[in-house]
Structure 1
Amino acid sequence: MKDVALTPPPPPPPHKGEKSPTAPARDDLVLVGEFGRAHGLKGEVRLKSYTAVPAGIAGYRPLFTAQGRTLSLKNARPAPGNAPDMLIAQVEGVASREAAEALNRVQLFLERSKLPPPEEEDEFLLADLIGLPVRDEAGTVVGTIVDVPNYGGGDLLEIAPAAKGPTAFLPFTKAFVPVVEIAGKRIVIAPPEDFFEPARSEPKDPAPEDEA
Structure 2
Amino acid sequence: MSLLDNFIQVGKIGRPKGTKGLLRLHCFLNDNRDINKFQKFYLEDETTINVKLVSFDKKSPLVTINNITDRSQVEGYVNKYIYLQKEKLSPTEENEFYFHDLEGLEVVDQQNEIVGKVASVVNFGAGDLLEIYFIKSSKKEFFRFTETNFPKVDIKEKRITIKS
State the TM-score, normalizing by the size of structure 1.
Answer: 0.58
Which residue pairs with 2:88 in the alignment?
114
Q: Which secondary structure state, in structure 1, belongs to the residue aligned with residue 45 of structure 2? A: coil
State the 1:95 CA deviation: 2.6
1:124 aligns to 2:97 (yes or no): yes
d(CA) in 1 for partners of 2:163 and 2:35?
Answer: 32
d(CA) in 2 for partners of 1:178 and 1:103?
Answer: 40
Matching residue within 135, 145, 150 for 2:107: 135
d(CA) in 1 for partners of 2:88 and 2:118?
Answer: 31
Label 1:123 to 1:160 Cα distance change in 2 as closer, same or farther (>3 A).
Answer: closer
State the 1:180 CA deviation: 2.4
Which residue pairs with 1:170 in the alignment?
143
Please report the RMSD computed on the Cα atoms of aligned residues, expressed in angstroms.
3.1
Matching residue within 158, 176, 181 for 2:154: 181
Deviation readout 1:35-82 (Å, 9 max, x if unpaired): 23333333222222222222202321221122221111221544435x
CA contact (8 A) 1:30 1:128 kept: no
1:75 aligns to 2:47 (yes or no): no
State the TM-score, normalizing by the size of structure 2.
Answer: 0.72
Label 1:140 to 1:53 Cα distance change in 2 as closer, same or farther (>3 A).
Answer: same
Choose between structure 1 and 2: higher strand proportion. Answer: 2
Q: Can you give the 5+ residue segments of structure 1 that lack an aligned partner in the other structure?
A: 1-22, 192-212
State the 1:174 CA deviation: 0.9
Which residue pairs with 2:131 in the alignment?
159
Query: Higher relative contact order at CA 8 Å, sep ≥6: structure 1 or structure 2?
Result: 1
Matching residue within 81, 84, 96 for 2:70: 96
Letter in 1 for 2:30: A
State the 1:132 CA deviation: 2.3
State the 1:87 CA deviation: 2.7
Letter in 1 for 2:99: L
Choose between structure 1 and 2: higher helix proportion. Answer: 2
Count, aligned residues: 157
d(CA) in 1 for partners of 2:44 and 2:158?
Answer: 22
